[in-house]
Chain A
């Protein structure tokens, strides 16, 4: 079982590799990837350095080109695929049908992974991408229960990668337009959800307010931990209640499910967080490396250690974690 870790800059690449990642995934510093934040990601020069570091340590590097080009921006996505091919990446992570087609036709030998942003949640969908574009692996959206992942793994024509830890998208990825509805910038076209330029933190007499393009997302009493204003994690009024109508600030943590995920044949665990610090990458990678090693060495029965949970909870949104959709009761 492969541990796939995020890197938004060179120190994070080092942190991931030095702490035992089997693969790192990263993106170019433009809209071609789903974490297009200022100061994050790689130029043509820095990506070479990152790839060299990974290669020197005998690990793999995946390049995320997982947003959707439009007619006037297509060349940038084409160039990103060309860059990935020139670097001989171990795989490109792609969401858009046209980009997949270009990569498959131009560089048939270059492995293609289906991004979570393609929202493939069932067998027929995986078969579509496999038969059309020869994908080798698919990253599953965070909408499936463990049982559903198991059924899919039994028949899937490709390797499956699932999320193990990190910020939790609660909508089918790639099909969530909440951010563009409020800000104009979408994950699909701009590689951002709740873009920083639209975010305002406003201190009021008794509260801290978070706004997104002027829309009040949440109001925090003094002493209350304030979260980043993501639309699906705001507090809103529905009927006569003010509540986290969609989800609370929380992160996914599937550490307890690791033996089941391994047993049903999941090929890789993905850690979310290219926008997070190298320290985050180091700590999360370390915990998951220990967990996978404990599971795979088989000398003692696997049990997630309380210390691991403490470390992960400390890095989680709102300092709390959930099994998310893996657990039916969450749904």
Chain B
């Protein structure tokens, strides 16, 4: 049965917003919830102790909780933070950098390989599995056809059953991470004195071409897609391919309704697929430019 997961929140939401969001998430038919800060180590709306307590609360409602970690790790303090999470948390850790994979491997902890580990073919996946990876998230730019080939070959060439496969199926795509903070740059501030301006943009800061075509969403050091990826209409294709988990990434604090829509489809409670919005994209899945929306009808 296809599982539904909720990605770690990508934006800088304050404590009250996060707590309300996760209180709502606890009520939703989600199987897996990823928690933690993946974009900027300066953001500390919740402390490590807060995240651990929240993880425990959510786990007690029957959710599988995974703690996620930073995508761009530069400072030793950022490594220490990841090490603390590994030492204090019993469950799975999502590694968005090879550093965390290495630390999890040494501590013999279960690990999920995040999409930025760039797993594109079977030998890479096999190597990561041998390092302790129990679940992996496909790169955002991977097409359905390429994923199909990878999983087919994996089955043919290895005796291992593959780690669980997860695909970001709804939400803005994380497209790049930089040393530079673009939100601070927009505010004419250096990153070291950023005044946490990203808190002013709880859905990111949209970037348009000079013809006002939406392109990207600036979110601190992260650049996201302007369009929301939406593979919900294609959930059966994902299932047939062998995808185990469909990931939803929140673009606003009140967007969790989509979880119920997907759950009803999977459970056969509803055959009605909601119409795609003009801001949706799915190009990557169909092997074309990610920003495109391919309509099969």
List 9 A-B pairs, minimum CB-CB distance, nearest first: A98-B123, A124-B99, A71-B149, A143-B179, A98-B124, A128-B102, A181-B290, A325-B179, A171-B176
Chain A 204-237, CB-CB to B under 8 Å as 1, else 0, gives 0000000001011111000000000001101111
- Given A70-B146, A144-B74, A174 contacting B118 (CB threshold 8 A): yes
- Distance in angstroms from A226 CB to nearest chain B CB is 14
B180 CB contact (under 8 Å) in A97, A170, A186: A170
B: contact size bracket:
35 or more
- Given A122-B99, A180-B141, A215-B209, A96 contacting B173 (CB threshold 8 A): no
Inter-chain contact A325/B141, CB cutoff 8 Å: no
A330 CB contact (under 8 Å) in B139, B176, B180, B283: B180
The reply to whether the CB of A151 lies closer than 8 angstroms to some CB of chain B is: yes
Which of B185-193, B236-244, B258-266, B269-277 binds A? B185-193
The reply to whether the CB of B120 lies closer than 8 angstroms to some CB of chain A is: yes
Given A68-B118, A101-B124, A215-B215, 8 more contacts at CB 8 Å?
A: A74-B123, A118-B98, A180-B290, A181-B291, A216-B210, A236-B209, A246-B178, A246-B185
In the complex, which residue of chain B has the Cβ closest to the Cβ of A124?
A: B99
Chain A 63-99, CB-CB to B under 8 Å as 1, else 0, gives 0000011111010000000000000000000011110
A: contact size bracket:
35 or more
Inter-chain contact B291/A170, CB cutoff 8 Å: no
- Given A69-B120, A132-B127, A216-B210, A127 contacting B291 (CB threshold 8 A): no
Inter-chain contact B103/A245, CB cutoff 8 Å: no
Q: A77 vs B127: C-alpha distance in the bound complex, in angstroms?
A: 17
* Complex interface residues of chain A between 313 and 331 (CB less than 8 A to chain B): 325, 328-331
- Distance in angstroms from B88 CB to nearest chain A CB is 18
In the complex, which residue of chain A has the Cβ closest to the Cβ of B70?
A: A122
A171: chain B residues at CB < 8 Å are 176-178, 223
- If over half of A's interface residues share one DSSP class (helix, strand or loop), that class is named, otherwise mixed; here it is mixed
- Distance in angstroms from A58 CB to nearest chain B CB is 36
Residues of A within 8 A of B (CB): 68-72, 74, 95-98, 101-102, 118-125, 127-129, 131-132, 142-145, 148, 151, 170-172, 174-178, 180-184, 186, 188-189, 213, 215-219, 231-232, 234-239, 241-243, 245-247, 325, 328-331
Q: A184 vs B146: C-alpha distance in the bound complex, in angstroms?
A: 14
Q: A96 vs B139: C-alpha distance in the bound complex, in angstroms?
A: 13
In the complex, which residue of chain B has the Cβ closest to the Cβ of A74?
A: B121
Inter-chain contact A186/B141, CB cutoff 8 Å: yes
B99 CB contact (under 8 Å) in A95, A125, A174: A125
The reply to whether the CB of B245 lies closer than 8 angstroms to some CB of chain A is: no
Inter-chain contact A188/B118, CB cutoff 8 Å: yes
The reply to whether the CB of B208 lies closer than 8 angstroms to some CB of chain A is: yes
Q: A219 vs B209: C-alpha distance in the bound complex, in angstroms?
A: 10
A234: chain B residues at CB < 8 Å are 209
Inter-chain contact B73/A122, CB cutoff 8 Å: yes
Q: A58 vs B75: C-alpha distance in the bound complex, in angstroms?
A: 39
In the complex, which residue of chain A has the Cβ closest to the Cβ of B76?
A: A151
- Given A174-B118, A184-B287, A71 contacting B150 (CB threshold 8 A): yes
Inter-chain contact A238/B175, CB cutoff 8 Å: no
Q: A234 vs B223: C-alpha distance in the bound complex, in angstroms?
A: 14
B98 CB contact (under 8 Å) in A70, A128, A217: A128
- Distance in angstroms from B280 CB to nearest chain A CB is 14
A245: chain B residues at CB < 8 Å are 182, 185-186, 207, 218
Give the residue among A68, A74, A128, A241 with the most B Cβ atoms within 10 A. Answer: A128
Inter-chain contact A96/B118, CB cutoff 8 Å: yes
Inter-chain contact B223/A125, CB cutoff 8 Å: no
A247: chain B residues at CB < 8 Å are 180
B178: chain A residues at CB < 8 Å are 143, 170-172, 246
Q: A186 vs B103: C-alpha distance in the bound complex, in angstroms?
A: 30
The reply to whether the CB of B35 lies closer than 8 angstroms to some CB of chain A is: no
- Distance in angstroms from B79 CB to nearest chain A CB is 6
Inter-chain contact B175/A239, CB cutoff 8 Å: no
